[in-house]
Structure 1
């Protein structure tokens, strides 16, 4: 009986266990299938569902964090959220591309604004201080945002060059990005525009693209002058002025029809006497072309048409009559047909002023009085080097009226040339020569037209020579560095013992260095002081910096532009010879002049000041550099 009862209970227990097992399995299967179906119905087939008792496990690789969170939410709507165990992972994505770092630098009379996105590691205070030094303390408004991404390698050279450009451009917008600088600015004159463009292009780092859009206001042309000559050499402009680009194109087109060849320089400026200037010029050039030879000069509203001697009288009358009737109002025509030369006339007086390529000036010919000769000499000495003027002119009687004025005017015209000659006769003033200024011929034509009047005769043959242009012929920074090295190649200059004061010998060499730097214009160089290893390291570092600064002060006294020069003191840290010998210590006591070249550096070091620090000192022309040594021990 007892065994029967125990067997019944055991059987019941087994049946209960089996029933419970089937129940749990049914719950697990039901939960797994329900959650899986819910996920699949929403397109989440990446999810894998598993169960362990009442727990529901989600596994698999989600495409992103949002998909992972959505899968957990769906599972939580099917079973109790506390039963859901998350074992999913999120698919690795490509790293986010770094942002485009860029700065817009805006400068006007109120100050400078910085707008844009920069690397978080950029020392913005150092940037502001660098800008203040370049712009003589102009106030800077920092409106920059920062992003914690590494900067491209070409970011800092571009930023450095942009700050350099800012110093020359008080009205400008400079856009900076990695490897690119775009400058939009306005300057006061065409000459200043050309100088700045040349300087920025020469100093641009090799890996930085530079885009320049620098404009200058239109010049005020007074008198508003145009002169076209047709002779045996063809048609050419001695002076050309226009009030608009469209007028310039019309004028040049008319000159080409008249026989002009090659490129024509026509200045667009203000001061035109009539909005119909271009029409009056076109008609005048066409009239001169019909005559075949001669010159036409427009001075404000006065037009002087001068035919070649021997021109057919009937043709001259027809051309002049047609031109006079077609000219717009305001313009007045003065047409002249000179008579053929009379060989029986006595020899005409003349005055000749010549300027040699070496700068020597000779005045010869006839003047009206001894006082006039002294006046001409004084004017020439004022326009040229006084000791280069030589006078052999003689006093003559019965010279034409206005002769003295024409002599002085010829000397004024010669001052616009680099070499050439001016010949003054009673009938004409002839100017021949070369100049390094493209506008020299126009300036002479305006001078003569203004002083002689529109009907006066003068003959110009002034050519532009690029080799004489002071802007285009500036030496390169590398040439400047090499020339400074040559000055100090075998000479030593010293400081006074135990001080940073340059001694007398050093002053002589600094005179030569100053002359070179004046020719070179604004270039970026480091003036670096070095010592030997004797003495305490801190004292050597301080002395080397003081001596570098003393050299800068000496150059300033010699009127050298030092905004691009930086003084640094390296003490004993960079020897170039053995400090164990007297000769080596003497060599190590030096000051080096080396070009500063922006170079790429590790992305995490992006301060503007570290650009200068990471430049390889002496990346220029020689291992020895340009040294100023001290005969005394530090």
Structure 2
């Protein structure tokens, strides 16, 4: 049977189509293989062995994780050199880039008479306006504040806010200082006017430091300016001693004290190193004069700048006096002028005229004896009232004739000397002015000697017998924090702080105990103190915790009402979690219901050797591992009944 021509044509086209499809599939496979192999080889040659290549028809997909965004882009570029870049599909990822390390936050604060400046880098979270406002308030309206602070949008590291807050508080006490602040650390360099101020400032700053803060103090007390430059050395029946001693250098101080020791003084003598010496030969002149006084056998030698007054003891040998004085006049450096005197021995009589002023420990002053004129009596009375208070002075002195011409000068100088004492007396006679008594100022003898040397002039005799009493010293007499804690414990051991049942209201019977605690705290200066509230285990735990917090806060409020400075106090309730006795008995529950006063003690940790400030800040300074333990010695008990369900 013959096929029709139409069928033959149809079969021919079908066969051709089949051949075309097979050829197209073969071509696509060939292109895929060629593209995949070519791109992979190119990437391997470029070092991008991490990239995976998969061809799908005419498209080439790149996958894998590139080390960086730059490596990912380089792989795309390399693939685009083998096949059309439009055929390359990017399925790659880049490794996550580590977060940029936070900067080291720090600040330098400088304060002096010219103003305040602060420079450094602080977190955005720190309120910059509060800082600048605080400094503006310190500086005053007429003193500039230079704000050179930069900020960075990173979280504040641990310890930063505590360190900066302490620095702001410290700056209020430091008119001349540099304070460096970093997370968990404050370094203070400052200058004070005296050693006494230095010790008081160090004590105040240490007590105010937050727990865990690393505090470095470098506080100096510059040498005082002594005007006039004064020294007074005495040898009498009580022994050899200084009433006042000044030296211009440590070496001069050692020479002077050695000379005094050789003349019979105990080795623990004091001598102030200061500025204002009239000549570099000061130590030489003092050594020679002290040795001369020892040869005479007794008396006093007084230096007021370059004026030297040597008063021999009454009854000294005239020949020895003349010889020693002659030798001293020739030996003293040229700038010094010597005035020497040997008092005449007087026959006993009714005694010389005298003026006496006494100051009692209660602050009462009596003026008795003789004055040369009515005008002097009025002046002495007015001067005493201005110094000691109008209601504290009683004048019973009388006016007589025949007194020395310098009597008024000696009386007023004596009254001024009396103001350096806590209690004592001054006696003025024609030949001598005597000052005696007790003081809380360790330098009072030297200050009185300087005053009298300046007021009385050359060749005038005076005697100073002043005793330093630590209990009268406003700084040295302050109890230590541990002593304050012990005093409060003694009060609360004998008189418990009770509360009304189930309430935070202090029982009326315990208000006297609060008065006693307040009086102790007023003498303690600035303390970091935690007032803790504790309960027994009766009632719900949450209610007991809330009640203990309220009671601790109530005690804090009572102290504030009694004008106790409580800015460094904290009130914290612990509920039933810290019993001190068994809650299974009534006696135990009563003991567990209590208020405790505990010192908050800083726990400084010294850096390891070879560790720099920068490495500390970078490697853990922001996360100190200090542990805070409760201070030893609980000091009080609180209430009657706790909250019950």
In structure 1, what is the equivalent of residue 173 of structure 2? 168
Distance 2:357 2:539 in 1: 61
In structure 1, what is the equivalent of residue 630 of structure 2? 619
In structure 1, what is the equivalent of residue 452 of structure 2? 448
CA drift of 1:523 comes to 1.6
In structure 2, what is the equivalent of residue 266 of structure 1? 272
In the TM superposition, what whole-angstrom CA distance separates every residue of 1:61-110 from its partner, at most 9, and x where no partner exists? 54444444444445445543344444555456766544323344567899
CA drift of 1:414 comes to 6.9
CA drift of 1:449 comes to 1.8
Measured on the aligned residues, the alpha-carbon RMSD in Å equals 6.5
Residue 551 in 1 paired to residue 541 in 2?
no
CA drift of 1:259 comes to 5.9
Structure 1: segments with no counterpart, 5+ residues: 390-395, 601-615
TM-score normalised according to structure 2 size: 0.63
Q: 1:52 aligns with which of 48, 51, 55?
A: 55
Alignment of 1:559-598 (within 5 A): 560-565=564-569, 593-596=597-600
Deviates more, 1:433-442 or 1:3-12: 3-12
Whether the 8 Å contact between 1:502 and 1:550 is mirrored in structure 2 is no
SS in 2 for 1:252: helix
C-alpha change, 1:204 and 1:31, in structure 2 (3 Å) is: closer
Distance 1:527 1:424 in 2: 56
Distance 2:590 2:128 in 1: 39
Distance 2:23 2:87 in 1: 28
Structure 2: segments with no counterpart, 5+ residues: 262-266, 394-399, 605-626
CA drift of 1:454 comes to 3.6
Distance 1:176 1:336 in 2: 60
Residue 33 in 1 paired to residue 37 in 2?
no
Alignment of 1:146-545 (within 5 A): 147-149=153-155, 151-152=157-158, 154-155=159-160, 157-169=162-174, 173-185=178-190, 191-204=196-209, 207-214=212-219, 223-229=227-233, 238-240=243-245, 247-249=248-250, 251-252=252-253, 255=256, 258=259, 265-266=271-272, 268=274, 277-279=278-280, 281-282=282-283, 284-285=285-286, 287-288=288-289, 291=292, 293=294, 296-299=301-304, 302-306=307-311, 309-310=316-317, 311=320, 313-314=322-323, 316-321=325-330, 323=332, 326-327=334-335, 333-338=337-342, 416=420, 428=432, 436-458=440-462, 469-492=473-496, 505-526=509-530
In the TM superposition, what whole-angstrom CA distance separates every residue of 1:406-436 from its partner, at most 9, and x where no partner exists? 7897787577567999898765566788765
C-alpha change, 1:598 and 1:342, in structure 2 (3 Å) is: closer
Alignment of 1:85-124 (within 5 A): 85-86=89-90, 88=92, 90=94, 97-104=101-108, 116-118=120-122, 124=127
SS in 1 for 2:478: coil
In the TM superposition, what whole-angstrom CA distance separates every residue of 1:513-540 from its partner, at most 9, and x where no partner exists? 2221122012233557899979x99997
C-alpha change, 1:236 and 1:194, in structure 2 (3 Å) is: same
The structure with more radius of gyration? 2
C-alpha change, 1:91 and 1:15, in structure 2 (3 Å) is: closer
Whether the 8 Å contact between 2:255 and 2:287 is mirrored in structure 1 is yes
C-alpha change, 1:562 and 1:461, in structure 2 (3 Å) is: same
SS in 2 for 1:522: coil
Distance 1:125 1:25 in 2: 65
Distance 2:288 2:345 in 1: 27
CA drift of 1:234 comes to 10
Deviates more, 1:574-583 or 1:103-112: 574-583
Whether the 8 Å contact between 1:225 and 1:299 is mirrored in structure 2 is yes
SS in 2 for 1:442: helix
SS in 2 for 1:474: coil
SS in 2 for 1:174: strand
CA drift of 1:227 comes to 0.5
Whether the 8 Å contact between 2:230 and 2:245 is mirrored in structure 1 is yes
TM-score normalised according to structure 1 size: 0.64
Whether the 8 Å contact between 1:226 and 1:297 is mirrored in structure 2 is yes
In the TM superposition, what whole-angstrom CA distance separates every residue of 1:351-410 from its partner, at most 9, and x where no partner exists? 999999x969999xx9669x99xx99x989x979x99x9xxxxxx999999789878977
CA drift of 1:137 comes to 12
In the TM superposition, what whole-angstrom CA distance separates every residue of 1:607-631 from its partner, at most 9, and x where no partner exists? xxxxxxxxx99934456x5346589
CA drift of 1:445 comes to 1.2
